[in-house]
Chains A and B, each alone.
Chain A
Amino acid sequence: MNNPGLYHMLFVSTALFFIGVYGFFTRRNLITMLMSIELILNSVCLNFIAFNKYAWPGKMDGLFFTLFIIAAAAAEAALAIAIIINLYRSHNTIDVNAAEEMKY
Chain B
Amino acid sequence: MTALWLLPAIPVIISAAILLLPERMTKAVSLVGATVQFLAIILLTLCFLSERSDGDQSVFLFQQRIEWFSSWKIGLHFGVDGISIAMILLTAAVVTAGILVSWNLKQQQKEFFILLQLLAAGAYGFFISLDIFTMFCFLEIAVIPKYMLIGIWGSGKKTYSANKLALMLMSGSALILVGILFMYYQLPVESRSFDFITMAAHPLPLNIQLVIFPFIFIGFGIFTAIFPFHTWVPDGHSSAPTAGSMFLAGISMKLGGFGCLRVATTLMPEAAQYYSIPIVVIAAIAILYGAFATMMQTDLKYINAYSSISHCGFVLLGIGFLNHSGINGAVFQMVSHGLMTALFFAVIGMIYERTHTRKVSEMSGLMKSVPFISAIMFIAGLCSLGLPGLSGFPAEMTVFMGGWARSETVYRVVTIAACMSIVITAVYILRAIGTVMMGPIKNNSFAVLDKAAWNEKWAALILVTGILIMGILPYLLYSLVNPATGEIIKKLSKG
On whether A and B touch (CB less than 8 Å), the answer reads no
B interface, CB within 8 angstroms of A:
none
A interface, CB within 8 angstroms of B:
none
